[in-house]
Chains A and B, each alone.
Chain A
Amino acid sequence: EAQVTQNPRYLITVTGKKLTVTCSQNMNHEYMSWYRQDPGLGLRQIYYSMNVEVTDKGDVPEGYKVSRKEKRNFPLILESPSPNQTSLYFCASSLSSEVYYNEQFFGPGTRLTVL
């Protein structure tokens, strides 16, 4: 089954404790991105990757890191999480960045709470 998977689905952590949210897709997609969803703000892009080894900042990159060493994986790293990073996180992928043409597939979401 073609899908985007994220782990963990739920995470409660404390301020300053480094964490990684994994994202993997099995569709051989070139393009991957991360969004965060907050009430009243919709979804906002954190980082994106056009292809392996090429990543760039989205609209809200502060406090986050990413890496794209393999085509299928795009982990989101929070080096020192803070309470304002409590949010619902989505990973997404598509064949290319032309998401108007190539549908963007979203993962199931990761609910992160930072105490």
Chain B
Amino acid sequence: GQNIDQPTEMTATEGAIVQINCTYQTSGFNGLFWYQQHAGEAPTFLSYNVLDGLEEKGRFSSFLSRSKGYSYLLLKELQMKDSASYLCAVNPGGFKTIFGAGTRLFVKA
């Protein structure tokens, strides 16, 4: 079967750094995505990893270890507007993308 696990909720302080972990077990692997989703809105693309290592994009970085079936999203210099759900998703091959349940991040002042 296909399984993607990530924490349900996290809380962090404005200006801090937070790491959201994701582990996956899928029938195949053709890339891992992170999306941000604000309540009542569609997801927006944050990052894509297909090779091991760290991808940095501004305040957001994403890491992948294929051998461990593990990824994390790192958010630096947290802002209040970063309060949202963060979805880890895997393409197991072909056209489909399988989404995790999402991690709700609360940023407090």
A and B: bona fide binding partners: no
Q: CB within 8 Å of A: which residues of B?
A: none
